[in-house]
Amino acid sequence: MDIAKANELYEMAVRLAADAQTLRDELQVEFLSGQVAEVVATEYDLGEVLRVEQIFGGFENLSFAVVTRDGDGERRSFVRKYKHGTVEREIRYEHALVRHIRANGFELPARVFETKSGDTLVTREELLGTERVGRFFAVYEMLDGEDKYSWTENRCTDAEYEDAARILARFHQAAYDFEPGDLYREQPPIMEYLATMPGTFKGYAEQTTGTKYDHYFLSQLPRILEAIDRGLALAPELEGLPRCPTFNDYHPGNLKWREERGVGLFDFDWTKLDYRLFDIAIGIVYFCSSWEDTDDGQLRLDKAEIFLRAYQDEACCGEHPGPVTDAELAALPRMLAIAALYVVSWDIVAYYIDRDPNDDEYLFFLEHNVAFVDFIEAHLDDIAAMTERAKVSRPVLGAAEGEGE
């Protein structure tokens, strides 16, 4: 084939590929908006569907704003289309917990709307590749407030760090007596999950194909496994520490904000029963890790102290699960390293189960979070000193006057 002809055919192929991508994107928008509109119109008493707008930003599920109109006027609702593979029991766990904590007076989460049949979940079948699969949908009230942050854009004000910590404490208080019955999460509690990480990571190491992500992952795997072993050694110190429903994904991007206060809380799809201490730790990791400037990859200890002090102050206002104990504070530095490893696990698992991963994006997250684990490991003494400063002496609500004298 002569050079001119090859060039002509190449440019034609480029144009066809671009046209195909444009058509693919348009069909995807048409399918998703039509599917969501049909679910809301047929399964819910929310009125006529006027329009559907996709909300971008999440990594797991698809989100949409749906505008409907009935006799009372227009309403904006939030629709979640759960990722393929989500287990129905887990969604029902989430919905039951949200309804429980709202009934206990913690009304920051959005209300889950019931369908015409009284359920909170809708199922639709669709084609994925060559296989027909079921997908789950749920409709919530649309929360007020501003989306100011994300899990990587987390430079809150001191007042926001404090309020966020108090919200986490109130969530634990409202959720403490939740009885899930036969509902539970597939992912086990943190220490059991931590014990599964070495086998999972070694399995992925055997599947690598030579990408730049693979090269970095393999180079860091020995150090990651060593950090996991150090985390597992904490298990005896955790015996008897408070357990309760935990959020497990508590970061600034899962709050709606107004005037430095959290006015809405969402994304309960990682909640499960676990150590209260782990939820505090993951909250500190997400809120107080730095993703920019000269301290990128470090824990902002001054902000972590604000967060921990505020949590402790609010926790002292309720009987259950009560204030953070001395045993929890002693275990917190190592639990922060475990929480950071939990995020590293997400970086790794998400990459290797993604059908078409973006190497640069996943590598950015993994490099950052491995560096963050290293920082915590190197500053355990500084973190322990911070926990000592954050101790608050305040009587628990309801304690008898003069008790202990």
Residues in the chain, pLDDT under 50: 393-405
Q: What pLDDT shows up at residue 20?
A: 83
Contacts of 139 (CB under 8 A, 6+ apart): 39, 40, 44, 46, 66, 77, 78, 79, 80, 112, 113, 122
Distance CA 326, CA 305 (A): 16
Tell me what pLDDT residue 286 has: 98
> For residue 120, what pLDDT is reported?
97
Residue 297: the pLDDT is 93
pLDDT tens track for 304-361: 999 999 999 999 999 999 999 999 999 999 999 999 999 999 999 999 999 899 999 9
pLDDT at residue 392, as a whole number: 53
d(CA 44, CA 51): 15
- The full DSSP string for 176-213 is TT---TT---SSPPHHHHHHHHHHHHHHHHTT--S-HH
What pLDDT, on the 0 to 100 scale, is given for residue 398?
45
**Per-residue pLDDT tens digits for 61-73:** 899 999 999 999 9
Let me know: does 341 contact 194? Beta carbons within 8 Å: yes
Q: Indicate the domain borders of the chain.
A: 32-141, 158-389
Domain spanning 158-389 has what CATH number? 3.90.1200.10
What is the DSSP-derived secondary structure letter of residue 256? E
- Position 82 scores a pLDDT of 94
CATH number for the domain running over 32-141: 3.30.200.20
What is the structure's pLDDT at 399? Answer: 43
Strands 122-128 and 243-246: what pairing? unpaired
Separation CA 1–CA 157 (nearest Å): 64
pLDDT at 400: 42
